Amino acid sequence: MVRVTIGKDETIEKALKRFKRECNKAGILKSFKRSSVYLKPSERRRLEQKSRLRNIRQSQKFGL
């Protein structure tokens, strides 16, 4: 659960922007989108493999 405390002189817009950033860090929106659509197990494995390959290529590209 994400909580944001609003400071005394803080505007609502800044607090909302901070709340959205915290939600992105926690991965709430990503998990919601992932669970809203059913994926067959074979499709899920294929997407995970694709993601792993992309991460490997990026790490090789940046020399990590």
Residue 51 lies in a domain: yes
Residue 3 lies in a domain: no
Q: Whole domain around residue 53: which residue ranges?
A: 12-61
Residue 40 lies in a domain: yes
User: How many domains does the chain contain in total?
Assistant: 1
pLDDT of residue 2: 86
Residue 23 lies in a domain: yes
How far apart are alpha carbons 55 and 51 in whole angstroms? 6
Residue 2 lies in a domain: no
State pLDDT tens for residues 7-50. 899 999 999 999 999 999 999 988 888 888 888 999 999 999 99
Residue 42 lies in a domain: yes
Q: Which residues neighbour 12 within 8 Å (Cβ) at sequence distance 6 or greater? A: 6
Residue 6 lies in a domain: no
Residue 4 lies in a domain: no
